[in-house]
Amino acid sequence: MSRIGKKAVSIPSGVTAAIDGGQLSVKGPKGTLAIPLSDNIKYEVAEGSISVQPANATREARAFWGMQRTLVQNLITGVTEGFTKVLEITGVGYRANAQGKNLKLQLGYSHDVDFAVPEGIEIKTPDNTTIEISGIDKQKVGQVAAEIRRWRKPEPYKGKGIKYRGEYIFRKEGKKK
């Protein structure tokens, strides 16, 4: 039994949810999001809540149950509050600058890295060493953060690179004489 799946997802005021054409669509103040419905899960939109139940007693239906409920919760959170990831850049000469729909990164390469910001994502650089990625789709925000981080992952000896805010970098001891 899924403990997460048992709880119904509450719909705040100003948000509408509808099931049509094999999709659950949620509309709120920040925009509209939709997910495809799984055949193994039964969705019910009631007054002020969405409940998710397995459609049958198969192992696959029970395995999807909690995940589908979490995806529905992410839709509701996305259209009301949105999601944000913060990246921090550490290293001498490493910096970032948001310029319209591009992010210019200087990461110690012989050239600047120009990252094109995808649709639905907003990137801000409050200072040269901080990148704030925000949007309504949790998966997209995480994917963009991972793609930016991939350009220069933090290394264990000096800790230089791009890391998530709050991430701990395991440091190694250098060479000994």
Residue ranges per domain, the chain? 3-80, 83-164
Q: What are phi and psi for residue 62, nearest 5 degrees? A: -70, -35
Q: pLDDT value at position 22?
A: 87
pLDDT at 109 over 90: yes
Mean pLDDT for 69-89 is: 95
pLDDT at 1 over 70: no
Determine which of 4-8, 72-76, 130-134 has the lowest per-residue pLDDT on average. Answer: 4-8
Inter-residue contact 161 to 152 (CB < 8 Å) = yes
Q: pLDDT value at position 21?
A: 86
* CATH superfamily of this structure's domain 3-80: Ribosomal protein L6 (3.90.930.12)
Q: pLDDT value at position 24?
A: 93
* CATH superfamily of this structure's domain 83-164: Ribosomal protein L6 (3.90.930.12)
Same topology between domain 3-80 and domain 83-164: yes
Chain mean pLDDT for the chain: 93
Phi-psi category of residue 120: left, alpha or beta, with phi > 0 → left and psi -120 to 50 → alpha: left
Mean pLDDT for 50-76 is: 92
Nearest Cα to 83, choosing from 126, 144, 134? 134
Q: With 0-12 CB in 10 A as exposed, 13-18 as middle and 19+ as buried, what is 135?
A: buried
Mean pLDDT for 25-54 is: 92
pLDDT bracket for residue 137 (50, 70, 90): very high
